[in-house]
Structure 1
């Protein structure tokens, strides 16, 4: 009868460990998703800034080729 209690306790501990690890994976996935979102916003901002700064240069290059 003791082996039944031991097996039940080990099964419970195993499920508890899997639950804790699952929660940790979920938290890290959420953190990674936030970082990816922040990075994509920064890239979009940098692309917009680059486009704004490149427009005058492109206009001048067009004037040079027409001359």
Structure 2
């Protein structure tokens, strides 16, 4: 009768250890999902900031490209080099 009780206690302890580990894994998954959500929000904000910062550059760089640019005399001049007086 001693050995069956010993194995029953050992099985109970094993299930208790697995339960504790399952709870710890659940808590870590929750923490990890929060970190992924925060990172996703930061990436979205950074992408919006990059897009907002790129709009003026795209407007300056894209000038004259929509109509072919051959009719626009400023389109043929290099950017940043104005006429010298």
TM-score by length of 1: 0.94
**Higher relative contact order structure (alpha carbons within 8 Å, sequence separation ≥ 6):** 2
Which residue pairs with 1:31 in the alignment? Answer: 31
Runs (5+) with no aligned partner, structure 2: 70-74, 76-85
Select the structure that is richer in helix. Answer: 1
Q: Which runs of 4+ in 1 moved over 3 A?
A: none
Secondary structure of residue in 2 paired with 1:63:
coil
TM-score by length of 2: 0.75
Equivalent residue pairs, number? 67
Runs (5+) with no aligned partner, structure 1: none
In our comparison, the structure showing a higher alpha carbon Rg is: 2
CA distance in 1, matches of 2:50, 2:64: 21
